[in-house]
Structures are given as C-alpha cells and as structure tokens.
Homo-oligomer: A and B are copies of this chain.
C-alpha cells in the first residue's frame, strides 16, 4: 500500500527551533509538547490537516521498549515513536540507550530503499529526542493478532519473501563491494546494547537458571529443567550464539517476529527494526518461520470446536513452506542477476561450465543458509516458552494446561530442529515434523 506514498517532508527538517525548551537535550514529550512539536513540522501539519488543537493523540505502545503515539487530524494520520532511556516493560532499572532510535531510522531508510512499500515511510526524525515520525499504517493490524484469530493472509508470503530477499541480498557481500559492506557494519556496530538483549534473552537465559525466565507452571517445570541440563542443546545454542556474534552477512532486521509485521489480507508492512545490525541472514528468516510454527502449534489452543481451525492450520504450514521456497527463489534470482559484490566474482566462473558450477555452489550456499534458518528458528521458539518474553499466540490460550500442551509440542519440535538440524534438510521436513508433533500428547507425569 505505502508504495504509492511519496516523501512528504525532508526527514531531517523541523528540528527544534530556538523557542523550544532545551533543544539539545532529550526529554520525554508529553502530549501537549508533542502537539506543538508536530505543528512546527509543515509537511506533517499539512498531512494531518486542520488546526493542531483538533488533532487526536493517543498513546498505543504495547511493545516492550518505547512510547508510540497515533496522531490523527482531519486529513490523515501519523505514528510517532519515541525511545525511552530504559526498557518500558521493566522500568528505569533496565536502562537502554536512546541511540536505538538512530539505528531504527537507519534501518528503516535502508529497507525503504530496497523494499519500498513494505516498511513505513519516515516523515521526520529527531536524533536528540530519539523520535521518529512515520506514516500511519492502517487499516493493518499486528499479524500475530490476526493469526490468533485464524485469519489467512494471502499476500503475506510474496511480501515477506520480497522484504527478506531484497534487504538481505543487497546488504550482503554478494551484492556489495567489501568497502561498502564494512562501512555498513561499522555504522551499526554501536547498536550493541540491543544485540546484547538478543544474546542474553535468546541465546543464553532460557538454558540456565535466570531470574527473568518464566514458563507455564507446573506443567513445563520438568521440561524447563531438562532444557537447563541438556548439553547437546547447550552446544547447539552456543554455536548459534557464536554465529550471531561473528557473522555479519547482511543488515538484518533483528526482531522479525509476527508482532513486528502489520498486515491486511492484501498488504504487509514490516515495522520496528531497532534491533538491526549486520548479522546472520538465517536469524531473520528463522524468526519468521519460528513465529509461524508457533502460530500453527498454538492453533489447537484457540479451537472453538475440534478441527475448527483446520483450514487455517493447513494455510500456516503451506505458508511456512512458501516462505522458505519463495525466499530462496527470489534470493537466488537476485544473485544471478545482481550478484556484483566482491564475493563469488563472476570472472572465476566464466563460460558454460563456470556458470553451471556457480549455480551448484549457489544451491550449496542456500542449503547452508537453510541450516542456519532452522537453528535460529528453534532458538526463537524456545525463548518464547522458557525465557522472559512470551508471545500472545500461547499466552492467550486461557486454559494453562492446554497452553502448556501447545508449548510442549513446540519445544519438542524446536529441540529437534536445533540439535538434529541436519535431519531437516528441506522446509518440507520441518513442516512434516510440525504436523507430526501437532497431535503428540505430552506426558506431564
């Protein structure tokens, strides 16, 4: 939808004027100050329409980190996101740098260039206030909510695979000269506090005693204890963590769950890339697949009658398969047509034999990337069930025992994916295992 939009304002315009209080310092903007602030941004004021006094402003941030305001005027609406100097979910005891707003802005503009229409358009950015003004994404809803309700999203696969293929490919060594890539790595290296959240909450805490861990008690007590002692799993998650620390393959979104995706049946918009940095591609692809797998395995918990969500579940499994296959197909096609980066120079694969051999190597590359995807996907599932941040797919299953059954199935699948990754050589092997575990009944003793 937003591909028809054009920039309405120079994103850098409208920095605070001399009359503003302490223009060089960060402050949390109360509603009234925000109204005044926006009124001074000509393009934003025109977009909203009418007098500033008439604009409606509501704080809607349901995320864990930031303030988010929806502002509507007579002509249109905007979203305003302001970073807080701490984790909103926890409070001031967990400080978090405001610079994440800078990295989110950088990532949004990168993604908008490569995947226009698939991310919100930035209308204004203020580094000092850690504030980004974006087009309002409507009538979209958070994809996770739609999936819980059992809604199918026919255009999702095409959109998300385009987003993934283009943002990852064009920031990789397959597309870029090394100097450019190194500039990008350096530009995002400062976002380490956000990376650290991932390193701790995804790659470490669920596998050890950690105060913030939680799970559905008492049913998952035993499984959580087993996971804390499972050394095969600990080796596997440690290798994935090392890859997360050590593989700047592309500029990744870094938090690409279904709560970071807004949808209608015909459109998809990816939001909230504040965790962006140069990391392993499989982390983003795995995040999408993990969240679809959890949607599939949570579905039984949202049934109103047995089999009542069968159509939805079939669609989710098909979607999982299509996310990988269409991503791989688009990524490979970009490599074939736009592979002008410093990796795999074409001059080493000249002629028909060279082209054939390079194509074989591309398939090998994709198989390696698929292995990463399976592993990271498993990591994303486990952290949502045994770690700090859970997701609504499971949380909204009212009966805790039923919830724990869905979660236990997910953990069983995820453990196999992480420890026996090579037994999942294709996405079909993943969906087959998911289908098999769907009807497994855990024995809670």
Contacts and interface: CB of A to CB of B under 8 A. Distances in A.
Interface of A: 173, 178-179, 181-183, 185-186, 189-190, 192-193, 195-196, 199, 204, 207-208, 231, 234-235, 237-238, 241-242, 245-249, 342-345, 347-350, 353-354, 357, 361
Contacts of A345: 204, 208, 238
Contacts of A199: 178, 342
A249 B242 CA distance: 9
B247 A246 contact: yes
Contact of A192 (B182, B193, B231, B248): B182
Given A246-B173, A246-B249, A247-B246, A231 B349 contact: yes
Contact of A195 (B178, B186, B208): B178
Contacts of A237: 348
Contact of A173 (B234, B245, B347, B357): B245
B238 A343 contact: yes
Contacts of A245: 173, 178, 181, 342-343
Contacts of A204: 345, 347-348
28 contacts: A173-B245, A173-B246, A178-B195, A178-B199, A181-B245, A182-B190, A183-B192, A185-B185, A185-B186, A186-B189, A204-B347, A204-B348, A207-B348, A208-B345, A208-B350, A231-B354, A234-B348, A234-B354, A235-B357, A237-B348, A238-B361, A241-B342, A242-B343, A242-B344, A245-B342, A246-B247, A246-B248, A246-B249
A250 to B, nearest CB: 10
A204 B344 CA distance: 9
A190 B186 contact: yes
A327 to B, nearest CB: 20
A343 B249 contact: no
Nearest to A209: B347
Contact of A241 (B192, B231, B242, B343): B343
A178 B207 contact: no
A348 B179 contact: no
Contacts of A348: 204, 207-208, 234, 237-238
A35 B348 CA distance: 50
B173 A195 contact: no
Contacts of A193: 179
A353 B234 CA distance: 12
Contacts of A186: 185-186, 189-190
A353 B249 contact: no
A199 B341 CA distance: 12
A197 to B, nearest CB: 11
A189 B183 contact: yes
A185 B245 CA distance: 11
Nearest to A192: B179
Nearest to A357: B231
A362 to B, nearest CB: 11
A342 to B, nearest CB: 6
Contacts of A195: 178, 182
A182 B189 contact: yes
Nearest to A176: B245
Given A178-B199, A178-B245, A245-B342, A349 B189 contact: no
Contacts of A242: 173, 343-344
Contacts of A235: 357, 361
Given A178-B199, A241-B343, 6 more contacts: A173-B246, A204-B348, A207-B348, A208-B345, A242-B344, A245-B342
A193 B183 CA distance: 12
A364 to B, nearest CB: 8
B207 A192 contact: no
